[in-house]
Structure 1
């Protein structure tokens, strides 16, 4: 009975069991620790988690005591074990951004979102692997190596937040946090059959998060259900005076996203399909078929599907509009220079000189050293960015649609040793618009992927339309019922 209660438990159900006395927070944490031992450290060796919180059980006991004493939850995420990407500062755990150059360093303070999670009663269970410094999408780092996809051990889990994605998919924690500069929350959500949210820039603070590009960086949830993702977004959103971009959300109600998932119909909603984000070659056909089926679910729920034929090239957005490599040196240096003297490095130049990074990011680091903010080339990209923002708003207006959908990635997530190709998440990254990725389905089963390889559908909206996107996502989720479990991390006996 207890085994069935614990498997892939949602926040809402956990809180019901906790308040009724049927389940303790300690029992839940022990469950996740057993699964981590069985599947991250042994068995398939997913290699998803850099370190565990040694005080997790102690924190769980304190929560159990508080709930018994008061009969009430300690917060919106009371007792919820969180998998936190290891570029988010924790004052009691090392924060390495996946790099040997930062091994052993524990920040003085929590990141703003870490404080928000703890204040809501959450337990930081573990820090997750990432593509080092969040620089690309395969989730390989010098501090831990390659994380594997629990649906296909020959493939990556996407990235850069792939450690979080693999861990949540494998039921090693209840909810997860990633960061997203180009695709990095939504890529592992797509590749690991999860729900991922990239919020509007300015909704979630980046202070205390190791930066890549503050023009495009944000943080967001990776969860097994839309309702869990909405609950996490409620907690981590809000104004932070240390991140001036969040002033844009100061006059907005950003703590009631759970209410959005109560809507049960899409009748009357017009949803666009961005046809240029679907590939035309043989390697795209399996993804296209799965996403087409997901779109048919939206139609069956009453949505009016509107073809959008405007040409938008995601490859061009990544290569010629995104400012990630132009921001990296200056924005990372801003973070590193503020670290205490005991930190092992204080600049990108020192990281490169140390040699303590994975060889796979060397070219990007060296390229970043050649770029800077404020240059003519950089400013030209910002102009293009503004033009793309206006173009996208015009697409919404011209077609009178409330949301737009497309495959997050035009072909299946890459194999270990390869590189991600044709990811469409860059559209929201360069514009700052919000999006939600939901599981669309799976590729055909194969010897290495007995349940198939997950494929995600991305749903985007105008700025600050998260409630609408969550309502669409939850209504779709309930009808689509895409729930194939990772075959390599089964229920423990």
Structure 2
């Protein structure tokens, strides 16, 4: 996999900004560090902050910290132009009529396609310089909301909250860039824990939506059966703002987004500022916490091979990659493998690619694996939830990610504490399809009751 790609314009922009940015905010009563979307928009409304200033601030932070954390693989060369446009739109319209994301910089995981001057590589040098046909569905929605696409987050050169700790999964760049205050919010993708896991380990908030709630179109796939895109942010409210902006029907992912659209609440996703008091009142009125529940065949579900996931994913990966690559210069999965073999010094290992290439579609073995996983989900998690009349299950860390993955269920991770080495851990709430509103309420209540998250102390 790619170690790191640092485009020259990232350094050029940083060099130009270093001298100028140190004084930009000293005369204003604004603290950009740890600022929420609401904080930033309030400063904008009070004419204390522009999108251009905010974007420059984050570019400077990237320049200073990225050599240490290596979270960002590329910055958008047109990022400041996008910020200027957002500022112009803000002047032309009443602030209250603008999207909450107007002018807010956002980073995208490197497998989320952008039809601009940035690459979309998913950590593959073979895709360097390839041009995607269109913005990913979620990116198109972010642009319509006026967000500033700041750059692409690294997928493979991981650095964690504590630099000596083991990294987790492949949305780590999205998570660490947010917690290190190199961007306001970010997008990650999840197949088997790639949002919930890094959110837990890096003291961030991550939302894995119900499959189809956010479009998969234009996102480099692993398996459409489990792939989903969601926000990674510092607070639950920020994550909800982003989620609300990216959900909805997309004709390029028609079947899944049409089916999931029924779950979107009228009026969108919201966070109640009184949710903690409401939660307390609910508990006093007889809400029940059910401890020590066990999902049937959980040991099988959590085993990548015994569950059938390994068999199914390898076949699905090849099919999904071939479908995605049809619109690019490299036309097939085999082309990727051939490039990697020819350029072995650039690409570190491709065992999964070779194993996937050896598959031959969805045959009897794969169908059996898919059938078994459906049964595991139906007779395990779904049955547990319905028999016990549960709103959600709550687990420490990211123990439930595989359970949620095979059932296409949503989950939210919020910071819950730190171990004796200072490594963060989260708490994850998961529920049945479409249960995001309840999960948001639970997550926000826990966040407001504990306020346990603290920023890391990275130094350049």
Aligned residue for 1:242, secondary structure, equals helix
Pair 1:370-2:358 in alignment: yes
TM-score when normalising by structure 1: 0.80
Contact preservation (8 Å) 2:115, 2:135:
yes
Q: CA RMSD for the aligned pairs? A: 2.2
Shift of 1:75: 2.1
Per the alignment, residue 437 of structure 1 pairs with 413
| Partner Cα separation in structure 1 for residue 360 and residue 447 of structure 2 | 42
Residue from 12, 30, 37 that aligns with 1:11? 37
Contact preservation (8 Å) 1:157, 1:163:
no
Contact preservation (8 Å) 1:157, 1:166:
no
Pair 1:89-2:113 in alignment: yes
Per the alignment, residue 430 of structure 2 pairs with 460
Per the alignment, residue 21 of structure 2 pairs with none
Q: Per the alignment, do residues 20 and 124 of structure 1 end up closer, same or farther by CA in structure 2, a change over 3 Å counting? A: same
Pair 1:382-2:370 in alignment: yes
Pair 1:266-2:279 in alignment: yes
Contact preservation (8 Å) 2:393, 2:430:
yes
Contact preservation (8 Å) 1:268, 1:304:
no
Contact preservation (8 Å) 2:315, 2:362:
no
Per the alignment, residue 257 of structure 1 pairs with 269
Summarize deviations over 1:392-427 as a string: whole Å, max 9, x none.
Answer: 111012222211011234xxxxxxxxxxxxx53111
Pairs within 5 Å for 1:42-61: 45-61=68-84
Pair 1:305-2:289 in alignment: yes
Summarize deviations over 1:193-237 as a string: whole Å, max 9, x none.
Answer: 011111111211100111110011010000100001111110110
Per the alignment, residue 347 of structure 1 pairs with 332
Shift of 1:485: 1.4
Q: Per the alignment, do residues 393 and 126 of structure 1 end up closer, same or farther by CA in structure 2, a change over 3 Å counting? A: same
Residue from 283, 303, 311 that aligns with 1:316? 303
Shift of 1:172: 0.7
Per the alignment, residue 6 of structure 2 pairs with none
Per the alignment, residue 22 of structure 2 pairs with none
| Partner Cα separation in structure 2 for residue 488 and residue 301 of structure 1 | 45
Per the alignment, residue 115 of structure 1 pairs with 140
Shift of 1:53: 0.8
Q: Per the alignment, do residues 229 and 262 of structure 1 end up closer, same or farther by CA in structure 2, a change over 3 Å counting? A: farther
Contact preservation (8 Å) 1:216, 1:324:
no
Shift of 1:262: 4.8
Summarize deviations over 1:356-391 as a string: whole Å, max 9, x none.
Answer: 477654111111112244211211121122212212
Pair 1:99-2:119 in alignment: no
Pairs within 5 Å for 1:101-180: 101-130=126-155, 140=156, 146-149=157-160, 151-180=161-190
Shift of 1:268: 7.3
Aligned residue for 1:83, secondary structure, equals strand
Name the stretch that deviates more: 468-477 or 371-380: 371-380
Shift of 1:473: 0.3
Per the alignment, residue 71 of structure 1 pairs with 94
Per the alignment, residue 64 of structure 2 pairs with 38
Per the alignment, residue 196 of structure 1 pairs with 206
> How many equivalent residue pairs?
420
Name the stretch that deviates more: 101-110 or 64-73: 64-73
Name the stretch that deviates more: 313-322 or 91-100: 313-322
Aligned residue for 1:304, secondary structure, equals coil
Shift of 1:3: 7.7
| Partner Cα separation in structure 2 for residue 13 and residue 489 of structure 1 | 25
Summarize deviations over 1:128-180 as a string: whole Å, max 9, x none.
Answer: 111xxxxxxxxx2xxxxx2211x211234422111111111111111110110
Residue from 248, 254, 259 that aligns with 1:248? 259
Q: Which stretches in structure 2 are left out of the alignment for 5+ residues?
A: 1-25
Shift of 1:489: 4.6
Contact preservation (8 Å) 1:317, 1:430:
no
TM-score when normalising by structure 2: 0.86
Contact preservation (8 Å) 2:30, 2:48:
no
| Partner Cα separation in structure 1 for residue 37 and residue 417 of structure 2 | 24
Name the stretch that deviates more: 173-182 or 21-30: 21-30
Per the alignment, residue 401 of structure 2 pairs with 425
Q: Which stretches in structure 1 are left out of the alignment for 5+ residues?
A: 131-139, 141-145, 270-298, 410-422, 446-451
| Partner Cα separation in structure 2 for residue 367 and residue 407 of structure 1 | 33
Contact preservation (8 Å) 2:413, 2:426:
yes
Per the alignment, residue 484 of structure 1 pairs with 454
Aligned residue for 1:405, secondary structure, equals strand
Contact preservation (8 Å) 1:260, 1:468:
no
Q: Per the alignment, do residues 3 and 360 of structure 1 end up closer, same or farther by CA in structure 2, a change over 3 Å counting? A: farther
Name the stretch that deviates more: 307-316 or 241-250: 307-316
Summarize deviations over 1:408-457 as a string: whole Å, max 9, x none.
Answer: 34xxxxxxxxxxxxx53111110001111111111113xxxxxx111121
